[in-house]
């Protein structure tokens, strides 16, 4: 490893999380990445447990249309956590988001989420 290079314990998990979302694989996402009693918390969302999380993510992805990572703008790991900011494209526009993942073992026990900004796609002139 090069001097000063950072080793990330959870980077593969992060990449899989994004792939589940891009694939709209809600069952795979929740069953493989969240504990049975996992809590999702944001300023306009608070869900606990697999069934509630599945319902939320299905509605969320349906609302977005699709989600595609443009960039991971900041990423840092703690002993059992990830904090990141990312820019994603959705059917409606470009969103800047942040999330905190707290792990219990190899799954998320807590997921905190929020929106930093949103730029709608420009409408073509009719």
pLDDT tens string 86-109: 999 999 999 999 999 999 999 999
Whether 85 contacts 76, CB under 8 Å: no
How high is the pLDDT of residue 48?
A: 98
| C-alpha triplet 30, 35, 37: angle, nearest 5° | 105
Domain contains 31 = yes
Domain contains 126 = no
Q: How much of the chain, in percent, has pLDDT values that exceed 70?
A: 94
pTM for this model (two decimals): 0.90
Domain contains 125 = no
Q: How many domains does the chain have?
A: 1
Domain contains 122 = no
Confidence of residue 3 (pLDDT cuts 50, 70, 90): low
Residue 4 has pLDDT above 60, yes or no: no
Whichever domain contains 39, its CATH number is: 3.10.450.50
Please give the residue range of the domain that contains residue 55. 11-116
């Amino acid at each position: 490893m090069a001097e000063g290079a950072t080793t990330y314990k959870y980077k593969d998990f992060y990449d899989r999380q994004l792939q589940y979302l891009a694939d709209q694989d809600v069952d795979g996402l929740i069953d493989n990445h969240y504990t049975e009693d996992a809590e999702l918390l944001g300023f306009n969302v608070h869900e606990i447990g697999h069934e509630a999380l599945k319902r939320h993510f299905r509605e969320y992805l349906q609302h977005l249309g699709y989600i595609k990572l443009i960039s991971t703008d900041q990423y840092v790991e703690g002993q059992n956590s990830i904090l990141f900011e990312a820019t994603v494209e959705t059917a409606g526009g470009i969103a800047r988001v942040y999330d905190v993942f707290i792990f219990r073992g190899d799954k998320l026990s807590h997921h905190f989420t929020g929106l930093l900004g949103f730029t709608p796609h420009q409408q073509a002139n009719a």
